Amino acid sequence: MDDKAGYLPEAIGIEWRAVEPGLAKARLDVARRHMAPNGFLHAATVIGLVDSACGFGCMASRPDGCVSFTTLELKANFLGTAKEGEAVACTARLVHGGRTTQVWDAEAVNESNGKTIALFRCTQLLIYPKP
């Protein structure tokens, strides 16, 4: 996906480090707008980061003829958090690249202490033009 402007990833402040077939890397500087009222990083912020990385990676990894994708399933395990002023890095990797589906794994890491915040997996349905 060449045009990354104007979509949710830009709105929440995701910075792209790499987007290429089989891999996407991104980071996010944690600000007050990313926090839940309880003072912890909001789960939706983390999902926005890891799901976006997997989605952009999926777009860069489409087989010939594939025009788009949609998410079939996603799952996350939250293992930690980040504070306002810290940064979260994400690496997403393609683990299955079929003709009709892709499975992606992503890890979100607190850059200040190196601890894993979340492990994420999603399955994408690849979309082709109707014959």
Given a contact cutoff of 8 angstroms between Cβ atoms, the answer to whether 34 and 12 are in contact is yes
Given a contact cutoff of 8 angstroms between Cβ atoms, the answer to whether 116 and 109 are in contact is yes
Q: What is the pLDDT, as a whole number, of residue 49?
A: 98
Domain count for the chain = 1
Instruction: Tell me the pLDDT band of 120, cut-offs 50, 70 and 90.
Output: very high
Give me the DSSP letters along 55-111.
HHHHHHTPPTT--EEEEEEEEEEE-----TT-EEEEEEEEEEE-SSEEEEEEEEEET
Q: Determine, yes or no, domain membership for 3.
A: no
Q: What is the pLDDT, as a whole number, of residue 6?
A: 82
Q: Determine, yes or no, domain membership for 1.
A: no
Q: Determine, yes or no, domain membership for 116.
A: yes
Given a contact cutoff of 8 angstroms between Cβ atoms, the answer to whether 122 and 73 are in contact is yes
Residue 114 belongs to domain spanning? 8-127
Q: Determine, yes or no, domain membership for 2.
A: no
The Cα angle at residue 129 between residues 95 and 99, in degrees rounded to 5 = 25
- Residue 17 to residues 14, 20, 25, 78, 96, Cα–Cα distance (Å): 10, 10, 5, 23, 22
Average pLDDT, the chain: 96
- Closest listed residue to residue 26, CA positions, set 58, 50, 2: 50
CATH number for the domain harbouring residue 104: 3.10.129.10
Spatial separation of the C-alpha atoms in residues 86 and 83, rounded to whole Å: 6
Please write the tens of the pLDDT for every residue from 70-98: 999 999 999 999 999 999 999 999 999 99
Q: Determine, yes or no, domain membership for 16.
A: yes
Spatial separation of the C-alpha atoms in residues 80 and 98, rounded to whole Å: 32
Q: What is the pLDDT, as a whole number, of residue 122?
A: 99
Q: Determine, yes or no, domain membership for 34.
A: yes
Q: Determine, yes or no, domain membership for 88.
A: yes
